[in-house]
Amino acid sequence: MQTDPVGYGYVYCGNNPLGYVDPSGLLRISFYDGSDEGWSRGANGDQFKEVADDEYFDIKVNMRPPDHLNMTETEWIIAVLDAIVNYLGYEVTDVYFFDHGIVDDPSNPSDVVGLEFGDEHLFWNPEGEEKGLEGFMKKLQNVTPQGSTLHFRHCYAGADEDKLKSLVEWSHRRVTGSTGEIYYGNLPKVYRPNWEPFFGEDGPDYYPFNINPFTKEASKYVQATPVFEEGEIIAVTVSDYVAPVGTHRFTY
């Protein structure tokens, strides 16, 4: 077997790259911000790690790169995916990102302007495409198989339909996001009778708020899907997304 192309001893797959193949031959990968300090309404690194460290995922990676590699978070993400997909040849079906959404106006957080990836803040409209989400999404196109899905579990990542569509147009991949805040952690006990028939006593680790406290509308997951003709995107459709039934901790 060849040397790890990232140069870090395959630490991102438990130092055992051959042992991370799902019985179906397909892989699901989660990237989480393990060092986020959190804030009053936001999750922290421990919570991001908790939801990412689920048996639903075949590989779980802290998006904060090892110090000695001198990489940014997005450079590390691209390098890991490049190693797994292009060098090891694994078929990755789903890539998840757990971090915060970025808003300019706290009174209207659904007007999301960017997404955090560790200490990197990437915006929809930066000065120069390479500095923002456009550049990152175009790089993701080169390290994810066509037909795979990118899941952004940042608050409000799916609130603006046009912005969600732009992620698809840049990456040529299906994209999912939440129209509202994402709650990381179990709901208070008073709500447990509603979920126990579906999830058991523990409940899901994360999910969209049932009601967006700002728009008063029900929050949900949405998906934007590219429509191709002769290799070119001719349209992007947007519809509700139902999270797959992987484990009781992950299904909501």
Q: In this structure, is the dihedral angle defined by the CA atoms of residues 136, 139, 144 and 148, taken in order, positive or negative? A: positive
Q: What pLDDT sits at residue 242?
A: 80
Pairing of strands 149-152, 174-178: parallel
Q: Percent of the chain scored above 70 by pLDDT?
A: 69
In tens, the pLDDT along 50-81 reads 888 888 889 999 999 998 999 999 999 999 99
Radius of gyration, alpha carbons of the chain? 18
- DSSP-based helix, strand, coil % in the chain, nearest 5: 25, 25, 45
Is 90 exceeded by the pLDDT of residue 227? yes
The pTM is what? 0.83
In tens, the pLDDT along 13-27 reads 555 554 555 555 679
Q: Mean pLDDT in the chain?
A: 80
Cα–Cα–Cα angle for 94, 98, 99, rounded to 5 degrees = 145
As a whole number of angstroms, the distance between CA 77 and CA 243 comes to 23
Is 70 exceeded by the pLDDT of residue 211? no
In tens, the pLDDT along 111-153 reads 889 999 999 999 998 765 556 999 999 999 999 999 999 999 9
Q: What pLDDT sits at residue 41?
A: 65
Q: What pLDDT sits at residue 56?
A: 84
**3-state secondary structure labels for all residues of 34-100:** CCCCCECCECCHHHHHHHHCCCCCCEEEECCCCHHHCCCHHHHHHHHHHHHHHHCCCEEEEEEEECC
Q: 208 has which bridge partners?
A: 182
- The whole-number average pLDDT for the span 87-110 is 87
Specify burial of residue 57 (Cβ count, 10 A radius: 0-12, 13-18, 19+): buried
Q: What pLDDT sits at residue 111?
A: 82
Give the tokens for residue 97. 């990102």
Q: Percent of the chain scored above 90 by pLDDT?
A: 47
Q: What's the distance, CA 138 to chain centroid? A: 16
Q: What pLDDT sits at residue 190?
A: 43
**46-60, 195-209, 228-242: least confidently modelled range:** 195-209
Q: What pLDDT sits at residue 153?
A: 92
CB 99 within 8 A of CB 121: no
Q: Which residue has the tokens 């986020």?
A: 36
Q: What's the distance, CA 175 to chain centroid? A: 9
Confidence at 207, pLDDT banded by 50, 70, 90: low
As a whole number of angstroms, the distance between CA 175 and CA 151 comes to 6
Domain ranges of the chain: 11-240
As a whole number of angstroms, the distance between CA 191 and CA 205 comes to 14
- The whole-number average pLDDT for the span 172-199 is 68
Q: What pLDDT sits at residue 184?
A: 76
CB 148 within 8 A of CB 94: yes
CB 73 within 8 A of CB 65: yes
Is 70 exceeded by the pLDDT of residue 47? yes
**42-46, 84-88, 202-206, 232-236: least confidently modelled range:** 202-206
Is 70 exceeded by the pLDDT of residue 10? no
More confident residue, 185 or 219: 219
